[in-house]
Amino acid sequence: MISRRMMESVLTAEGYEVLTAVDGEGAVALLCADGGPRLALLDWMMPGKDGPSVCREVRHTREQPYVYMVLLTTRDAKADVIAGLEAGADDYLTKPVYPAELRVRLRCGRRILQLEDRLIEAREEMRHKATHDALTSLLNRGFILELLQREVDRSRREPTSIALLLGDLDHFKKINDEHGHPVGDEVLRETARRLATVVRPYDAVGRYGGEEFLVVLAGCDAEQGQKRAEQIRAAIAGQPVATEGGPVPVTMSIGVVASSDWESADVERLLQEVDKALYQAKAAGRNAVVLGKPDRPRTPAKHPADSSVLWH
């Protein structure tokens, strides 16, 4: 037979960190807390809530991560065992509990939890691959467009404004031609890193295609979007990208539109307009930010760079 104190001693010797609750309510609070235990031994008879009640409440309240619960009971009738398992217990031990049996039962529970962790990790990896670009780890084209659609819909309901930025690396083909595609990949990865450091944590940045990047800024009007675009332009052009082939100077041209300037515009229209603004930035000499406005001339915030210096 093993008492609670002896049980704590056995578990500690096995390398477990032991936390105890004096009643059922305390057990629920402990198991449902953030970062709470994932392996639990529950006495069927406890003050307040009994073991099966604790199991039911934990299953109802905490879905992830999974808690493996073992009921300790003097009841060995099949009906009682079934009732305990139906309440949400994963296993049961009949008192008196022997240390060797306790150890192997808990090891079984740990194996199951480890298997669940691996399955969750694999699922998250698949989800990440489905929504992120493999090279830059930014959102991929499909997901950034899906997110843009949601933000446009939300901006109409509330209403609020979103700013849409489309950036394109200047003379990127020349980087690939002169330095090779592996260096070009390094430039794209570093560009993605710099983009992610400039935007807010809740903004969305995606690789739109090739060397183009799409940024969705929730709750931003045209002025705020233009300001953030200038910060991005400066971050990209601020210093050359260190690559295996040596430092490579890089600049970006950026088009900007705000949904509040284009009443009732859908995603397709906003993308058309931001692409026009990007074209204007390229035509203005690159390394520039252009804000697109309905029926107004676009004035580039130009920051020319001597191509003979950039690409010699």
Total Cβ atoms within 10 A of residue 158: 8
- The owner of tokens 């260096």 is 183
| Look-up of token digits 């449902």 | 32
Q: What is the 8-class DSSP label of residue 16? A: P
> Are 28 and 49 spatial neighbours (Cβ–Cβ below 8 Å)?
yes
151 is annotated as an active-site residue: no
**Token pair in block for residue 290:** 């252009």
* 213 sits in which H/E element: strand 212-218
Q: Where do the H-state alpha helices sit in 158-214? A: 172-179, 181-198
- Spatial distance between the Cα atoms of 89 and 81, rounded to a whole number of angstroms: 10
Cα distances from 105 to residues 8, 98, 133, 250, in angstroms, run: 15, 11, 43, 60
Which pairing describes strands 252-258 and 288-291: parallel, antiparallel, or unpaired? parallel
Q: Is 39 helix (H, G, I), strand (E, B) or coil?
A: strand
Task: Extract the tokens encoding 7.
Answer: 């049980």
First to last CA, the chain: 83
- How many other C-beta atoms can be found within 10 angstroms of the C-beta atom of residue 251? 19
Burial of 164 (0-12, 13-18, 19+ CB in 10 A): buried
Element (H, E) at 273: helix 267-283
Query: Helix axis angle, 99-131 relative to 4-13, nearest 10°?
Result: 60
Choice among 151, 211, 263, 268 that is catalytic? 211
Active centre residues (catalytic): 211
